[in-house]
Structure 1
Amino acid sequence: MDPEVRLRDVELGDVDAYVRMRCDPVMMAELGGPLPREGIEEKVRRDVEDAASGKALIKMIVPAAGGPGTAGKPVAGTVTLWHHDVDGTVFSEIGWMVMPEFQGRGVGKRAVRMLLERARYEDRWGLVHAFPSTTNAPSNGICRSLGFTFLAEQDVVFAGRIVRTNHWIIDPSTDLARTDSPSSR
């Protein structure tokens, strides 16, 4: 059974959660290591603006109240869908991070699915790409289980670092439907 979570827009008060996700060596192990603490407030501010304008869907994953691991931890992670330009080609990308205490519980899979369902409903994102590190078995498993198609291994730049990734793609309007079942909702 999928865990109960909800998604909410990123808020200015989410700085501590961003620090926990982006500045922690364990959380950032698959993305080239922790980012510096400086600039996190600015990153949150930009993300809040992008979410408010509709430029990107930047969601905080909020676990069901009273569930295991929720005491004193208002968010379980983040899931984001945005457009970006690589060498003149604009495409949609989805990415997610789940705090260690929530990993292995299906929280990330549920949140990714929820955002892809929204993308299907909005019908403005087109094909959605994901680039988990080649060594990130849980994130690659999420892609596989939700109906993404594996394209190839590829190097991508994340925060100025080159990361070896698996390139996955999904069309939320058709491919996500392959995984629709009572147990995946």
Structure 2
Amino acid sequence: METRVRLEPWAEDDFWLLPRKNEPAMTEHLGGPETDAKLHERHRRYLAMSAREPAAGRMFRVVAEGETVGSIGFWERVWQDEEVYETGWGILPEFQGRGLAARAARALIAHASTHGTRRHLHAFPSVDHAASNGVCRAAGFVLRGEARFEYPPGHWHTSNDWRAVLGGL
């Protein structure tokens, strides 16, 4: 039986998840670990996202069988002259390999389709990040090709551009 996931809006008590996701194994494709100050800044940004209108994007904790297993979110951006959403996720190492990220991404696509105002949701995993590219494939994104991508600021790498069409728009 497939484990169901639930997306819970990011809350004040969720800071603990950021240091866990900041471990070297979790940040290898994201430019490496961030400072504690950057993590606190990220937490404030995630809380602010939860306070905005739903169409502007959201950060969520991913919950499976009553346990927090990671996070996922979406936010507004312009990509190739189109207003789109971008998504990113991180599942804690002890929960990886169970399909939870793909289930969370499908739940996020459904949420953005219901609450969003943009037609497309993009993900930009590094071309050499097999697990995240697999999540995109399993969640129903379509590979559009490679793109030079800057993340974090100052770190350029080659990413895959995956896109999901949001329904109901």
> TM-score, normalising length from structure 2?
0.88
- Secondary structure of the structure 2 residue equivalent to 1:26: helix
- Secondary structure of the structure 2 residue equivalent to 1:46: helix
- Secondary structure of the structure 2 residue equivalent to 1:39: helix
- How many angstroms apart in 2 are the aligned matches of 1:87 and 1:154? 11
Q: Count the aligned residue pairs.
A: 165
**1:4-39 deviation per Cα after TM superposition (whole angstroms, max 9, x unaligned):** 221111112222211111x21100011121122223
Counterpart for residue 178 of structure 1 = none
Check 1:126–1:88 CA distance in 2 against 1; reply closer, same or farther (3 A cut).
closer
Q: Does 1:28 align with 2:27?
A: yes
Whose radius of gyration is greater, 1 or 2? 1
- Secondary structure of the structure 1 residue equivalent to 2:145: strand
AA partner of residue 12 (structure 2): L
- How many angstroms apart in 1 are the aligned matches of 2:48 and 2:17? 17
Counterpart for residue 124 of structure 2 = 131
- The root-mean-square deviation of aligned C-alpha atoms, in Å, is 1.9
Q: Does 1:43 align with 2:42?
A: yes
- Secondary structure of the structure 2 residue equivalent to 1:115: helix
- How many angstroms apart in 2 are the aligned matches of 1:173 and 1:167? 19
AA partner of residue 124 (structure 1): T
> TM-score, normalising length from structure 1?
0.81
AA partner of residue 15 (structure 1): F
Counterpart for residue 169 of structure 1 = 163
Write 1 or 2 for the structure with the bigger share of strand: 2
Q: Does 1:7 align with 2:7?
A: yes
- How many angstroms apart in 2 are the aligned matches of 1:35 and 1:63? 27
AA partner of residue 46 (structure 2): D
Gaps of 5+ in 1: 175-185
Aligned-pair identity (%):
30
